[in-house]
Amino acid sequence: MEAREVSKGDWDVRGKDYETALAGPVTESIIDADRVVRCEYRNGFPNWMLYRTVIAGDGLFVTRLRLWAVAFAVVYGMGGGVRREAYSDELAAVAAWDALFILMHGREVQPYTVSAAQLGVHESTYKRFRNRLYLRMRASLDEYWIQMVVAYRHVLKAERKVS
């Protein structure tokens, strides 16, 4: 029988990188990193829930995120995010769920043309509103993620100094 060579990478020597560790199970260090980030970065978005749902794949916060997304869409829509005559609570709810679904899964629930037709709004109105919601959620999550990686590194460094 022929012996096969098993390749090894740096990950075998160094362990998990910061992003992989943050996408894994919640640890005290991750909680501490979130605490550090929340002290500096508060924008009204449920960043912890977005991070744990979208990046780490937890299902724990999906219901709460849906409720928050609809509330956000209502406030944004009534505040000028969509024309007054086109706005409805149904539009806000569907666009919010769709935007959150795109953030979580990288694809639409159904084509935006179908959603727009069912809601009785122009296709471009629905798509623009939904995309604006998505882009705001994505931007918040991206900024939070960057800050979490940095904070996590600092927390681990501080823990090593203590021990």
For the chain, give every domain's residue range.
45-162
User: Residue range 20-30: average pLDDT?
Assistant: 95
Provide the pLDDT for residue 150. Answer: 97
Provide the pLDDT for residue 4. Answer: 65
Give the other-Cβ count within 10 Å of 78's Cβ: 13
Q: Is the pLDDT of residue 57 over 60?
A: yes
Can you tell me the distance from the alpha carbon of 106 to that of 103, in angstroms, rounded to the nearest whole number?
6
**Inter-residue contact 85 to 121 (CB < 8 Å):** no
Provide the pLDDT for residue 76. Answer: 97
Share of the chain above pLDDT 90, in %: 88
Q: pTM, whole model, 2 decimals?
A: 0.87
Instruction: Classify residue 78 by its DSSP letter.
Output: I
Q: Is the pLDDT of residue 144 over 90?
A: yes
Tracing tokens 């203590």 back to the chain, one arrives at 162
